[in-house]
Structure 1
Amino acid sequence: MNTTLDKLRIAYVISAVSSDNTGMGGHYRSALVLAENMMQRGAAVHIFTLGDIFPAPFRGTHVPVTHIDFDNRLGYYGAIRKAISGFQPTHVHSFDNKSHFFARLVARRLNKPTFLTKPGGPNRRTFFPFSADIIGFSEENLTFLSKRRNLRRTRFHLIPNRVVQPTPNPSKVEELKKRIDLRDDEVVVLRICRIGHYYRQSILQTFRLAERLRQSGVKARAVVVGFIQDQEVYDEVSRDAGEGTAIVTDPHFTEKASELLEVADIVVGTGRSFMEAAMQQRLCATPLQGQELPALVTAANFNDLARTNFSERNELANFSRDDNLQEFCRLIGNRTAFDRHTHEVMALVDERFGMSGAARKYSEIYAERSSYVGAPLLDYLGNSLAVLRYYGPLLLRASHRKAAAP
């Protein structure tokens, strides 16, 4: 099939279910960046969000977005089918297992090909559904999935997370500085993330890095900006926060938090948050398993950290905490060395994760499929488990509200 971009009509389908996440994860921004760039290159695109919350990254975008709310429980699938079918897609691309369950049913009815993105995250032993094409952000994930028996007919494509340089918001940065009473001579160690169990380690390592820098004579402050996903984790990290540490949870700052990157000298980042910080030429660190401090990202360790998508699962052989801290101090104290280092890392990120060339790769993948590729009934049943797991609590919550109503 010879499909040019102006002939493509791509339905991007993604879940936003409160029992699973906050609607503010990096994969929403990844889906949006992809949709924006495919649209700029002539494809017709439409994002369909499924669940009980509307993802914050999609607010104000010029990409068409339709939200199918789970409030309409009895007619939920019918509403999804009507919305996606009305767009008349040539291709249906899901960004999580739950949305894939519904999207593949619609695609089957329309006889249109499906595509499924595995947007980073840990490898889990739970069921992963079939799609003829699976796109992964990390080599680690695709290697793991390629061993699944139900995915023997799948074509795997490694297309790392794509970013564009975030646009700073100077007035918002100034507001944050006033909010936390930041002095001009203070070095900011910034972590932008949801405040929950998965990111607990990186938050604590952010605190420790600022603490070790202070012990080394650097006037450093840790600043965490993020939505509270788990109250217990928030309470724990608040108790552990050291001298001068600021934890900011105000939605005014947590939404589009990448606009705040200019406030930082050092950013502790994972996945997209690391890449956006690198594009802003901040000094970038990323968490390491079992370590007290995050690792400074350098040209020497870049490829090793990229294998785990600069995530909480990062590991580095022969890591030296003291050498790592010493290099942070050296770069903070030498502006020329700082600029040289950050430019080098930015160039690596732009080459590996910049949007240039990604639209071509996606269009080539789409061009290879023109019709639906099915799977055994057991695969659909396995896929339904993810739907039941996360939509079940919504149904229980709704029934409790109904029972409690006068």
Structure 2
Amino acid sequence: TPEDPDVVDDIAHLGSGNLVTVNDTEFTLNASELIDVADFVIGTGRGFMEAASRGKVLLTPLANSPFPLLITKDTFPAVFATNFSPRNQIENLDVEANVGRIIRVFEDDDYRAELANLSSRLFNDYFNVDNVVERYRKLFGTIRYRSRFRFLNLLYGLYVLKSRSPYWIPSGRSK
């Protein structure tokens, strides 16, 4: 959906002509297609994880702040628990300190690189399914060997359904 035009104008004004915003529905409906061209991503849920997979500087909306939260090693745990939802709230948030860190990202190349590296590490530690394939194989292997009783469970379930349902119609008969 198109963003609030007043907010877009404010952002463009703050960027002093050095900032490009893309807010046309052609792009915002599938915003993940633009992640590669972004330096910073304000994301929630899956979009946040996709941006982390590409090592982008990460921000996420907060319900109790007019500014998104810059993700650092200290702020990550608070919003990880809620899947980076727009309903995120951080008690005792120091909004000025958060804004100061956001400004620092624009001014300090080393800090920006540090946060991009953090983003990649967070992806590998928390979201990269390639890192858990072996655990899933073991889990499904265990389930497979227990599944020989599944057929008996199915038969028992059908028996219970038949005995308790007035609508059970055995094959070949009509009510």
AA aligned to 1:220 is: L
How far off its partner does 1:221 sit? Answer: 4.0
**Residue among 259, 268, 272 paired with 2:42:** 268
| Among candidates 355, 359, 366, match of residue 129 of structure 2 | 355
Q: Which residue of 2 aligns with 1:307?
A: 81
Q: Identity over the aligned pairs, expressed in percent?
A: 26
**Residue of 258, 261, 280 corresponding to 2:32:** 258
Gaps of 5+ in 2: 162-175
Residues 214 and 278 of structure 1: CA distance in aligned 2, closer, same or farther (over 3 Å): farther
Q: Tell me whether 1:327 sits opposite 2:104 in the alignment.
A: no
Q: Deviations over 1:274-299 (max 9, x none)?
A: 11112222221111123212111111
Structure 1: any 5+ residue segments left out of the alignment?
Answer: 1-194, 224-245, 378-406
Equivalent AA in structure 1 for residue 24 of structure 2? I
* One-letter amino acid of the structure 2 residue matched with residue 297 of structure 1: I
CA–CA distance in 2 between the matches of 1:211 and 1:324?
19
SS in 1 for 2:21: strand
Report the 3-state secondary structure (helix = DSSP H, G, I; strand = E; otherwise coil) of the residue aligned with 1:285.
Answer: strand
Q: Which protein is richer in strand relative to its size?
A: 1
1:247 is matched with which residue? 24
Name the counterpart of 1:211. Answer: 10
Aligned mates of 2:59, 2:9 — CA distance in 1: 12
Tell me how far apart the structure 2 counterparts of residues 208 and 327 of structure 1 sit (CA, whole Å): 20
**TM-score in terms of structure 1 length:** 0.32
* Distance (whole Å) between structure 1 residues aligned to residue 141 and residue 87 of structure 2: 34
**Amino acid of the residue matched to residue 364 of structure 1?**
K
* Alpha-carbon distance in structure 2 between the residues aligned to 1:308 and 1:279: 19
Structure 1 segment 107-146 matched on structure 2, within 5 A? none
> Is the CA contact (8 Å cut-off) linking 1:288 and 1:313 kept in structure 2?
yes
- Aligned residue runs from structure 1 range 7-406, under 5 A: 195=1, 208=7, 211=10, 214-215=13-14, 219-223=18-22, 246-249=23-26, 254=29, 257-369=31-143, 370=147, 371=150
Using the TM superposition, give the Cα deviation of residue 248 of structure 1 relative to its aligned residue in structure 2, in angstroms. Answer: 3.1
Q: Is the 8 A contact 1:208 1:292 kept in 2?
A: no
Deviation at 1:322, TM superposition (A): 2.3
Deviation at 1:210, TM superposition (A): 8.0
The amino acid across from 2:141 in the alignment is: A
Highest Rg: 1 or 2?
2
Q: Separation in 2 of the partners of 1:285 and 1:211?
A: 18
Which amino acid in the other structure matches residue 39 of structure 2? D
- Distance in 2 between residues matched to 1:326 and 1:210, nearest whole Å: 21
Deviations 1:380-405 (A, max 9, x none): xxxxxxxxxxxxxxxxxxxxxxxxxx
SS at match of 1:220: coil
Aligned-pair Cα RMSD in Å:
3.2
Does the 8 A contact of 1:285 with 1:297 survive in 2?
yes
Contact 2:39–2:57 (Cα < 8 Å) also in 1: yes
- The letter for the 1-side match of 2:34 is L
Greater helix content: 2
